[in-house]
Copies of this chain bind each other. A is one copy, B any other.
Amino acid sequence: MKVLSQSTAFGGMQGVYSHESEACQCEMTFAVFVPPQAIREPCPVVWYLSGLTCTHANVMDKGEYRRMAAELGLIIVCPDTSPRGNDVPDELTNWQMGKGAGFYVDATETPWSTNFRMYTYVTEELPAFVSQHFRIDMSRQGIFGHSMGGHGAMTIALKNPDRFRSCSAFAPIVEPSTADWSVGAFEKYLGDDRSSWRQYDACALVNDGARFPEFLIDQGKADAYLETGLRPWLFEEAIKGTGIELTLRMHERYDHSYFFISTFMDEHLKWHADRLS
């Protein structure tokens, strides 16, 4: 593990690290906040998955999670959103594909399938790696994210209900198979056979029988992507009769930015802490 930076914050430690990823066949960077409680005992972890165009740094800089994570004793791990480096394929003029747009899937199509294996990276390789380097109680894991990362968090929770005890999302893409900013990427990463897309689509997963006890979703009503990309009402519809509980809060005047995310960050961290402790 390469240490790129470490700074004391709120009595804990915000670090940025990198390692050689086998899943993604490149060097991957991630951020970890360790609360002061981890000096005494292993702490629960909450994974934060970021949205399109982001790296590990956006939420680290703008998410305002450290104060409450230090108070609640939560480790926060923030992976990157895609493989990186000169050898990784990309579409330079398309922010919805390639670097910064991994969509937390394992690509099956050429040329993407060599590096774009973010599902395996986030659910297997990185957890195994960080559990070796930080004092994490891996029996207590939560996951959340924003937009594309909200999609990632929800699909990963639905597919791994035994591993995660809590899941929440800020403005998630709930049905990427039909959202305008993800269909193109899904075609290129996963191919034309749309049945293979269903494992990465929260609504389709629920329809196919996947279950997770409860979700918290916050969504701004002034979010420019609400109608074409996010559409949380589709998930509300999908869970009807399934026993899945959804706390969906629609907020007047809030947009898609980190100003929105940071406003509700404390409540999300409390949501996770309540279910992890």
Contact = CB atoms under 8 A, between A and B. Distances in A.
A17 to B, nearest CB: 15
A64 B61 contact: no
Interface of A: 7-11, 14, 61-62, 64, 66-67, 220, 222, 253-255, 257-260, 262-263, 266
A14 B259 contact: yes
Contact of A8 (B14, B258, B259, B266): B259
A10 B62 contact: no
A245 to B, nearest CB: 27
B64 A259 contact: no
Main secondary structure of the interface of A (DSSP, over half): mixed
7 contacts: A7-B259, A9-B259, A9-B262, A10-B262, A61-B61, A66-B263, A67-B263
A263 B10 contact: yes
B61 A8 contact: no
A262 B63 CA distance: 12
Nearest to A222: B8
Contacts of A255: 7-8
A203 to B, nearest CB: 28
A7 to B, nearest CB: 4
Nearest to A257: B7
B64 A260 contact: no
A262 B69 CA distance: 14
Contacts of A254: 7-8
Contacts of A259: 7-9, 14, 66
Nearest to A255: B7
A263 B259 CA distance: 18
Contacts of A61: 61-62, 258
Contact of A9 (B7, B11, B14, B260): B260
